[in-house]
Amino acid sequence: MNFYIVIPAHNEEDVIAQTLDSLTGQTLLPKKVVVVNDNSTDKTQDIVEAFAEKYAWISLINSKSSNQHLPGSKIVNAFYKGYETLDANYDVICKFDADLIFPKDYLEQLSLHFKTNQNLGMVAGFCYIEKDGEWVLENLTNKDHIRGALKAYRKPCFEQIGKLKSSMGWDTVDELLAQFYGWSIFTDPNLKVKHLKPTGINYSQASKYLQGEAMYKMRYGFVITFVSAVKLAYKKGSFSLFKDYLAGYFRAKKQNIAYLVSEKEGQYIRNLRWKGMLNKLK
């Protein structure tokens, strides 16, 4: 299978060489890797250029955006800067973070999963972080959720869901829409990816409100938003986050911000969320 990979990068000089090393050492090499150097002020560009000189299938795009760290729109906009330089001759499109170390057979295993199950729209492994000298699961979400750091989409699925939404919550709504259109999603616990920089370390107070806004835009409704906010705040060990999430939700509702999904898609998403919560209670 032809894998195309886009890697948004902002000031990643300490880690991006390890990410690219792990991709150049794959048992199944990607056909193309595009690194989008998004407003970096360090040596990210120099490091990527050195790889691009050595590997013809690695390229660099320099992009200018704001210095403000806003998860969601900023990273998706950077992704599109890279995606727009690619042709359509891919079977799988990946959005990877610039701070990951992949096992050598990562892409080969993804390819095997896609080939085995023609209905599989998205697949990934799990992120692990270093803690007290050991690599442990970065347990921030349900194990059936594919982290935004390592998304891989079958081409027809990617196109049917409308590609990536330029908003906080893009890495949740993509899975929900994939299921709405009948695609399956799989996370392989045997694929352990080292995540060098823990998620959310640079989030600002303003960006934290965006999580609640995203729940509104995905048409969760108040009850599901409340339950989701409790769960996320608990996993991240911060009650203040719970208040931020709800504040973001009500602010978006008051401002009548545009939804990310249609009414029909929203109804499906709410039913799917309720089903998941009820199954856990059982």
Write out pLDDT tens, residues 80-116: 999 999 999 999 999 999 999 999 999 999 999 999 9
pLDDT for residue 211: 87
pLDDT for residue 254: 94
Q: How far apart are CA 265 and CA 172, in angstroms?
A: 13
Q: How far apart are CA 22 and CA 8, in angstroms?
A: 16
Q: What mean pLDDT is predicted for residues 221-240?
A: 87
Confidence (pTM): 0.90
- Distances in Å between the Cα of 193 and the Cα atoms of 88, 102, 132, 138 are 27, 5, 17, 10
Instruction: Provide the residue ranges of all domains of the chain, joining segments of one domain with +.
Output: 3-195, 205-281
pLDDT tens digits along 34-63: 999 998 999 999 999 999 999 999 999 998
Would you place residue 266 in the very low, low, confident or very high pLDDT band (cuts 50, 70, 90)? very high
Q: How far apart are CA 64 and CA 79, in angstroms?
A: 13
SS3 239: helix
- Give residue 202's identity as a one-letter amino acid code: N
pLDDT for residue 69: 54
Phi, then psi, of 36 in degrees rounded to 5: -100, 105
Residue 237 reports pLDDT greater than 70: yes
SS3 167: coil
Q: Is residue 202 a contact partner of residue 69, using CB atoms and an 8 Å limit?
A: yes
Q: What mean pLDDT is predicted for residues 251-259?
A: 94
Would you place residue 68 in the very low, low, confident or very high pLDDT band (cuts 50, 70, 90)? low
Would you place residue 142 in the very low, low, confident or very high pLDDT band (cuts 50, 70, 90)? confident
Q: What is the CA radius of gyration of the chain?
A: 18
The token duo for 46 is 């120099």
CATH of domain 3-195: 3.90.550.10
Q: How far apart are CA 187 and CA 275, in angstroms?
A: 19
